[in-house]
Structure 1
Amino acid sequence: MLLLAGTSATSHTCPPPGEAEGRCIELTADRTLEVFEVQLSPGQPTTFDFDSDVQADGLTLENRERFKVAPGKRLITLVPSEMMRGEKPSTLTVCFADDAAPSCARFRLVIHPAVAERQVEIFRHKRPVNSVQAELKKTREEIVRLHAEIERLRAERDRPDGLTGLFASGMVDGKGIPSQSITKRITERESNTLIPVRVTTLRAPGRVAIGLSLENPEGAKPWTPQGAKLVGSKGEVLDATFWPAEPIPSGEQHRVWIEVMVPDVQTQGPFILKIWELDGQRTFVIGNVTFPALPVGSGL
């Protein structure tokens, strides 16, 4: 009984090609915009067999008056009339009765003069809506970060490299770039798997940077940075870029640079710096991160 219960809770999957008696389609939350093509033929029934309850009275079908429709809780049968012969494909949209994702499925009904797919099985891999929303939020944040990085690269594209570029951009004047060591001031989380050997912060007009010498303890798995951000005392979040995106092997110490564009003067801190690794399982977090002030007249 336990074995049967465990099997029933598992999502159905389509059999390998050639082993299914009819057509088989799998629906996932990341393919909500996909339209699946199904072949019908005038006078021949095609049955859509869903593994989740559908809103039988809520389906939408183009040219519905030219179909015989038998809607059910999990079975929907369509029979095109002769009037559909030679017509353009119609779209069928079926929505599910629960609140999980994917919420609907769309099919492009192609009319063939003689051959129809008699049965189409639809297996739905459900996900809670809040899970999908959290993933979309994370994706949007990543898109915003990438747009900011693109704009930064565009702004720097036409500038010369080296010292000339630094002076031309206004980031450096005769007084240089203010920097400070905050290694002894930072706070660390007990869950950190990296050791901050040296932490330096720098400031230039319009941006700040953090230089970290990070040690990955002997015996630990390699640690590869994937993303970083600064969090202010009021919860404000500043997206950060980092370099290099290279793994820190076990027992070795690497230098990692974090850079943040700052659109205003609210960057004295203290801030919390968060860096997460490639697979998202481990994070490195330090607090009490502050930045030096710019000389008077240097801009932000």
Structure 2
Amino acid sequence: MSTPLPILLALAVLLAAAPVRAEPASCRDPAERPIELGAERCGRPPEIRVGEGVATVLRFDTPLARAESSGPGRYRKVVDGELLILVPEEPVADESRTTLTVSFADGAVPTQATLQLVVATPARAERQVELFRRARTAVSLQRELRETHRALQELREENARLKAAQARPDGLTGLWVSGDMDRTGIAAREFLDVREHARNSLAIRSGLTFRAKSTLVVVDLKNPLGAKPWQATGAALVAPDGAELKVARVWAPTAINPGEEMSVLVETEPVEGAPRGPFTLTLWAEGGKRPIILGNIELP
């Protein structure tokens, strides 16, 4: 039974999101990916491995007008803009070769390209191949090289930060070595008279504030039964004069399910001098939804 066209198109969309792996090219195995048309090696058309019952998606950089095949086997071919979907419809011997000719829709030269479809086992069939009709310019290659160098430098810097973090001790020793704690140590204070906004959807159970070079607010929240799960994704800590302490991170590892209680931690950037309060803490979920507003929060 042949596969309906809508299913083939849906399969093409899914396969189009998959990354393309680069493979080494040689005359024995002309499998360079992606394929640059007009730059074929070894004097023969590029080869595409296909398999019985496997949809192979060819992604061109130019819209296609049509596709024609000649040789052993029959193929269901679906042309959709820059995509060509191929599905072998009858069994043929492995390594059988079929010539595929594609015609481009814009009429520019070259108007056609020729490929070789090589039958392989379904496990070795290619699901997606990118083909470029236009040769890449030196400017394009230089831009890609700059972007690759920049990404590599970022990875090197991130790797150095991770190595430094692993080498640093934890606990109080780590706080001292990192400079987050000085000779004044860490001061702590419990919530005494926190004012909850009437529209808060979660109830506060308890809270603590800490101060070293930065400040930390720990809030224990309970999500009532019948409510939707809630997870903090952002926070603001604002003084009475409107000054805002810069939030460094919000730590809420999982969502708080209905009937459950969990701590949410809000840490600020280092603060110079004694912060002047009381502060108003606002926590919100994804997209700023279901905010929790807590007033009259004093820092140590």
TM range (shorter): 0.3 to 0.5
Question: TM-score of the superposition, structure 2-length normalised?
Answer: 0.44
Question: TM-score of the superposition, structure 1-length normalised?
Answer: 0.44
Greater CA radius of gyration, 1 or 2?
Answer: 2
